[in-house]
Amino acid sequence: MKEFLPSLEVLESAAAIVYETMAPTPQYAWPLLKAAVGAEVWVKHENHTPVGAFKLRGGLVYFRDFAQRSGHAAGVISATRGNHGQSVGYAARKYGIPATIVVPHGNSVEKNAAMRALGVELVEHGEDFQAARERAAWIAQQRGLQMVPSFHPLLVHGVASYSLELLRKVPDIDVAYVPIGLGSGVCGMIAARNALGHRTEIVGVVSEHAPAYSLSFEQRRLVEHPVTTRVADGMACRTPEPPALEILWRYLARIVLVTDDEVEDAMRLMYSATHNVAEGAGAAPLAAAMKERGRLAGRKVAVVLSGANVDRDVFARQLAKT
């Protein structure tokens, strides 16, 4: 577990790799969100990275290490619902490494297009992320490709850089809401909080229609659960990562479940209050803060807008609702 929760020096070294490619993203306190939540709300804008999501940070750190160890390998493969795949595609291209990405059928059309634009070979298989991941592992064996995991210490180190930025800019945040997909983002927040010695309460956010992490957190054992969310594909996890669970059991304050309807409300609120686009997982922390607003009065709150990669027609339908 120590390698997933590294020292401040290790996190700063990872952040330096990230900043060779991208600038730190902003964090703003938005007055209209304060009015809605009843507390000062800071948004960490990971929708402002070169791929529109936080995952790129981890990919840059992972592939720096991979390239140094393996040189120009025959190729890599991974599974994704979109943002991790863009991270792999972007970082692999930087080092001239061929990348194959497996996505489930029915995946976001625009995320698929973005991955292809980064030069990846895209394979569609299965009905959910877990099926795509199992197919990716099979293809890796057949083709002799290196499997890139969706959860790994170096990915955590890289994505922790956004939490370092946030917690240094606003060191007196009382509570931070972080979406949970497979866990790199929330574990990165825990790592940064612990390394800086802050007291920020970290709250995970999970879709009510993909509750595996919430059930596992409550029962203190790994629990798988089918995924039925129609909007929060970035949180559509059927099988949690054991190393992530070990960290969450020890350091996470709690997990808040949000429904698809609540996420859609938050997508609209984020746009009307900040004119920023949030995909389902990116809006989920705001949905959780709205759900818990009764306990947030007088507190300083952060919500992680983890990504903006929502298909245009999906987002248009949300904005059209009242």
**The token pair that represents 177 in the structure block:** 């809401």
Number of alpha carbons in the 13 Å side-chain half-sphere of residue 272: 17
Residue corresponding to tokens 């029915």: 106
Pairing of strands 40-45, 27-29: antiparallel
**pLDDT value of position 322:** 73
Q: Which domains does the chain have, with CATH numbers?
A: 2-54+153-320 (3.40.50.1100), 55-147 (3.40.50.1100)
Q: What is the DSSP letter of 53?
A: B
Q: Which helix (H) or strand (E) holds 206?
A: strand 201-207
What is the rounded distance in angstroms from the CA atom of residue 242 to the CA atom of residue 123?
Answer: 27
**pLDDT value of position 177:** 99
**pLDDT value of position 218:** 98
Global pTM value: 0.95
Collapsed DSSP state (helix, strand, coil) of residue 183: coil
**pLDDT value of position 71:** 63
What is the rounded distance in angstroms from the CA atom of residue 209 to the CA atom of residue 207?
Answer: 5
Query: Which residues, given as ranges, of the chain have pLDDT below 70?
Result: 1-3, 71-73
**The token pair that represents 311 in the structure block:** 């298909």
